[in-house]
Structure 1
Amino acid sequence: MLRRLPPSEATGLRTSARHSLAELYRPADLVVLGLGVMIGAGIFSIAGRQAATMAGPGVILSFMIAGIACLLACLCYAELASTIPASGSAYTFTYVIFGEVWAWIIGWALILELQLAAAVVAKAWAELTVRAFADFGIALPRHDLVGGALTAFILVVLTGVVAVNTRIGLRALWIMVAAKLLAIGAVIVVGALHVDASNFGDLYAPPKPLDVPPSTVLDVVIGQSHAFGWAGIFAAAPAIAFAYIGFDIVATAAEETANAPRAVPKGMIRSLVVATVIYLAVAVVMVGMIPYRRISTDAPLSSAFRGVGVDWMVHVIDIGAVLGLTTVILVLIVGQTRVLFSMARDGLIPRGLSAISRRYHTPSRMTLVIGVVAVLLATFAPVFTLQQLVVMGALFAFLFVSAGVIVMRRRMPDLERGFRVPLSPLVPVLSLVATLWLMVNLQVPTWAWFGLWMVFGMLVYLVYGRRHSLLAPPRDEPPAAARGRHRR
């Protein structure tokens, strides 16, 4: 626990292990990267589902709550990314501030978040693609073989793009993000023409106790599950936070960004603010078009447009949803590659995976491994039932990043920062509280599965990581000397 990575080594090159990634991103690219992962198919469905089942018209407030919680964490990420602009994001921040064991724990949580998210989104992409073809009058067989083939197809294609040429992936990302923003713009403009103000009420639906066993940690504590009312509004926030999660992936691009200490914080904050405004606008349109009691949970926005007689918008939504999930998968693979690349060159996982391809100038070996694992997960694991683990992994990293701002200000006050969290330590403390609130609104089985994943991760670290770490003492060095050498 005493091994801490010096800041100078986190952002520099280390002999035989720390390889340099080519500069690729401009400030505007980072905003597109953030929008690429935060705005997926969920923008067309999450507001309607949460309004129909949990928050009623108060889902608009749920979006605000989730957005504020993520913004607090984003500000903390921005300061650490401006101080330690390395590709490992929260993993590297934790390595410098708290030490190797904690860095491994965060890295292991990020592996869970990003790898499982790629599999979940790829499987959802396959289902949406089948539905989109059906809406266009082209019926595809709805069985597991077709869905599995489509899932594997999108993962193989996008893994290949990231492995071979990240610049091509960035150009494709720009085009797809622009196209899906046009689709979302059409949804907002056309939907606004059919908004009925009476559907908003006072943004509050009477609370309704649910006749089901308590499912979240908070429900277990209070002994009752509730929908609607303020309990429902707050309970919907963690599900909505799933949509916002992804701004942290922008931090993984720091090593490949020009003037990263200033560009990365701006890119993260701007992309999150834009995404929040867009989500709120779609939520307002969704709730305003149709009373929340009549919202279909299967395809909320499509059914709402059909309900007001604008059937052609269904095709716009289908195209936007497929493009939205495509960009999400692409950015998730990029982010996962950069986190594991950092862990590999630090020696916590096999260093050979951090090799940069001389031909493609990317960590292509690592990228291919990530793609293969994602295909296997999507094919054989019940990823839809485990998708809350994605939120848990991200929120767990948020905790350490928020605490890291406070600790780094005290331990390393002289480090140059391109961005400073305003009103520190108040904002980091509020971020900690908001993150914990979101976490206790996650289901109890999610906590159990996450605990098992962490236990397995610690076994992996004890068997391999601690012995192969670049900060591990030479075999002939006394432990006391090693502790002194690594204490910073």
Structure 2
Amino acid sequence: MRRLPPSEATGLRTGARHSLAELYRPADLVVLGLGVMIGAGIFGIAGQQAAGTAGPGVILSFMIAGIACLLACLCYAELSSTMPTSGSAYTFTYVIFGEVWAWIIGWALILELQFAAAVVARAWGAITVRAISDFGVTLPRERLVEDLLVFVILVLLTGIVALGARIGLRALWIMVAAKLLAIGAVIVVGLAHVDVANFGEFYVPPKTLPTPPATVLEIFVGQSQAFGWFGIFAAASAIAFAYIGFDIVATSAEETVNAPRAVPKGMIRSLVIATIIYLAVAVVMVGMIPYTKISMDAPLSSAFREIGVDWMVHVIDVGAVLGLTTVILVLIVGQTRVLFSMARDGLIPRGLASVSRRYHTPSRVTLVIGLIAVVLAELVPVLMMQELVVIGTLFAFLFVAAGVIVMRRRMPHLERGFRVPLSPLLPALSLVATLWLMVNLRVLTWAWFVLWMGFGLAVYLVYGRRHSLLAQPRHPVEASRGRHRRWSGPAS
């Protein structure tokens, strides 16, 4: 239960040759957040949830989901402003709750980010093949082409991240700007074809579905339901998953100029902007055609075809491909920083915490992450396991919200660049909202998550507990070439 001292959480510890260079400014963090929060889902999730779960009330679902995520974001903002380090929730937990809990959160973040990169890459391949087909190009052996595209995009983006954060940031700015233009076109053109009558009264009478209960909540309720207020809140749970990603902004804290103030602003602003954009697309989606006519396969594309604006299908395809590209890029960056921090603490092999002298990035761990993502995307049916990404994220949300409450009591003296208002009320509400999202996940997802965490705990007991930097005898070393190291343990 040993805890990392707060002074060491933001100090340079051994295992890294030198610190990560400061690169990001507030505007960059907003782009980072939009890069991961706005993917291809923005063109489909509103229509899918309207057609099958909430009806026109899906607009209320987006508002509810935005509020739930904002509560979690505020908690992340306070902890990031207090401990601006690349470890994010993993390091916060290390300081507040102790090493074994930090390992558990780090293991959950590995599940979130590593699986997410593979899942999104797989989806990127399928959407890219569909986009090519929509342009009238016939592809022989589509599955083989899709596999090749997935391999190429993962290798390309891993290379960009490994070669330097500045290169990745420039590429991110260009792609985010392009996909925002595509989304802007969808909103502007769609608004011109909105029929107010399609919104109805927002509330659709509830109905019981013939399918057996699958989520934890449905088991307690005893049946599967859709529409009504139950459907609106159930859709909010699904929609909240689209907003997830703002937490990855926290992993860039160590590389951010004036991080205690810049990181909270970047996270909150990116989440607010993403929420507004999602709401706008939802209004367009529901307003263009009645929710009963929305296609579940390609909601927005089919809606534009329904109203006779076929050329918008190509805009949506381009936006979806660009959207998923930026998501993969940011996920690789986030995963790199989390594993870098865990290696620097000795919980995983410390050789992964080395920073390239030439590229000034943790390129070794980046290449490992890219290789694992390729193997998962090509050999594992990751699309069937995408809820594992969500449960790993939400598990970290729980500890961050609880961490704000506990840290206020245990460490009130720590300087904070941002404070959650109305604490402990808002962090407690964040805990409740996160638990609500978690009980809307399938029982099978919970089972796989428990197995993953059990395996992770075994890894910690066998390796991490004994190799942890806090378990090693320490001795101070002199600074070298201006790169200050606080402590140095024995070479691994």
For 1:417 and 1:74, the matched residues in 2 are separated by 15
Report if aligned partners of 2:37, 2:242 keep a CA contact under 8 Å in 1.
Answer: yes
Where structure 2 has 5 or more consecutive residues not aligned to the other structure, the ranges are 475-492
Deviates more, 1:350-359 or 1:138-147: 138-147
Deviates more, 1:172-181 or 1:131-140: 131-140
Aligned to 2:151: 152
Using the TM superposition, give the Cα deviation of residue 385 of structure 1 relative to its aligned residue in structure 2, in angstroms. 1.1
With over 3 angstroms needed to count, the CA separation of the structure-2 counterparts of 1:212 and 1:15, relative to structure 1, is closer
Question: How do 1:199-210 residues align onto structure 2 when only pairs under 5 Å count?
Answer: 199-210=198-209
Aligned residue pair count: 474
For 2:57 and 2:441, the matched residues in 1 are separated by 19
Which deviations, in whole Å up to 9, do the C-alpha atoms of 1:314-348 show, x marking residues without a partner? Answer: 11101110000000000000000000000000000
Aligned to 1:140: 139
Identity %: 82
Instruction: Name the SS for the 1:384 alignment partner.
Output: helix
Question: How do 1:106-121 residues align onto structure 2 when only pairs under 5 Å count?
Answer: 106-121=105-120
Report if aligned partners of 2:15, 2:354 keep a CA contact under 8 Å in 1.
Answer: no
Aligned to 2:309: 310
For 2:206 and 2:99, the matched residues in 1 are separated by 46
Amino acid in the other structure paired with 1:39: I
Which deviations, in whole Å up to 9, do the C-alpha atoms of 1:71-94 show, x marking residues without a partner? Answer: 000000000000000000000000
For 1:218 and 1:102, the matched residues in 2 are separated by 26
Output the aligned Cα RMSD. 1.1
For 1:466 and 1:331, the matched residues in 2 are separated by 30
Amino acid in the other structure paired with 2:51: A
Aligned to 2:372: 373
Amino acid in the other structure paired with 2:182: A
For 2:385 and 2:51, the matched residues in 1 are separated by 22
Aligned to 1:423: 422
For 2:294 and 2:449, the matched residues in 1 are separated by 33
Which deviations, in whole Å up to 9, do the C-alpha atoms of 1:167-221 show, x marking residues without a partner? Answer: 1110010011011101101100100010111111111111110111101000001
Using the TM superposition, give the Cα deviation of residue 138 of structure 1 relative to its aligned residue in structure 2, in angstroms. 1.1
Question: How do 1:379-398 residues align onto structure 2 when only pairs under 5 Å count?
Answer: 379-398=378-397
Instruction: Name the SS for the 1:226 alignment partner.
Output: strand
Which deviations, in whole Å up to 9, do the C-alpha atoms of 1:397-440 show, x marking residues without a partner? Answer: 00000000000000000000000000000000000000000100
Using the TM superposition, give the Cα deviation of residue 371 of structure 1 relative to its aligned residue in structure 2, in angstroms. 0.4
Question: How do 1:55-454 residues align onto structure 2 when only pairs under 5 Å count?
Answer: 55-141=54-140, 143-454=142-453
Instruction: Name the SS for the 2:208 alignment partner.
Output: strand
Using the TM superposition, give the Cα deviation of residue 17 of structure 1 relative to its aligned residue in structure 2, in angstroms. 4.7
Where structure 1 has 5 or more consecutive residues not aligned to the other structure, the ranges are 476-488
Aligned to 2:49: 50
Using the TM superposition, give the Cα deviation of residue 15 of structure 1 relative to its aligned residue in structure 2, in angstroms. 3.8
Which deviations, in whole Å up to 9, do the C-alpha atoms of 1:34-56 show, x marking residues without a partner? Answer: 00000000000011111111111
Using the TM superposition, give the Cα deviation of residue 241 of structure 1 relative to its aligned residue in structure 2, in angstroms. 1.4
TM-score normalised according to structure 2 size: 0.95
Using the TM superposition, give the Cα deviation of residue 238 of structure 1 relative to its aligned residue in structure 2, in angstroms. 2.1
TM-score normalised according to structure 1 size: 0.96
Amino acid in the other structure paired with 1:199: N
Amino acid in the other structure paired with 2:356: S
Using the TM superposition, give the Cα deviation of residue 474 of structure 1 relative to its aligned residue in structure 2, in angstroms. 4.5
Amino acid in the other structure paired with 2:258: N
Using the TM superposition, give the Cα deviation of residue 459 of structure 1 relative to its aligned residue in structure 2, in angstroms. 0.4
Aligned to 1:480: none
Using the TM superposition, give the Cα deviation of residue 291 of structure 1 relative to its aligned residue in structure 2, in angstroms. 0.7
**Structure 1 outlier segments of 4+, above 3 Å:** 15-19
For 2:140 and 2:324, the matched residues in 1 are separated by 21
For 2:183 and 2:304, the matched residues in 1 are separated by 13
Instruction: Name the SS for the 1:333 alignment partner.
Output: helix
Instruction: Name the SS for the 2:295 alignment partner.
Output: coil
For 1:235 and 1:18, the matched residues in 2 are separated by 47
For 1:97 and 1:145, the matched residues in 2 are separated by 48
Instruction: Name the SS for the 1:59 alignment partner.
Output: helix
Using the TM superposition, give the Cα deviation of residue 19 of structure 1 relative to its aligned residue in structure 2, in angstroms. 3.7
Using the TM superposition, give the Cα deviation of residue 473 of structure 1 relative to its aligned residue in structure 2, in angstroms. 4.8
With over 3 angstroms needed to count, the CA separation of the structure-2 counterparts of 1:107 and 1:250, relative to structure 1, is same
For 2:160 and 2:27, the matched residues in 1 are separated by 21
For 1:254 and 1:315, the matched residues in 2 are separated by 37
Deviates more, 1:132-141 or 1:16-25: 16-25
Using the TM superposition, give the Cα deviation of residue 16 of structure 1 relative to its aligned residue in structure 2, in angstroms. 4.5
Using the TM superposition, give the Cα deviation of residue 143 of structure 1 relative to its aligned residue in structure 2, in angstroms. 3.6
Amino acid in the other structure paired with 1:278: I
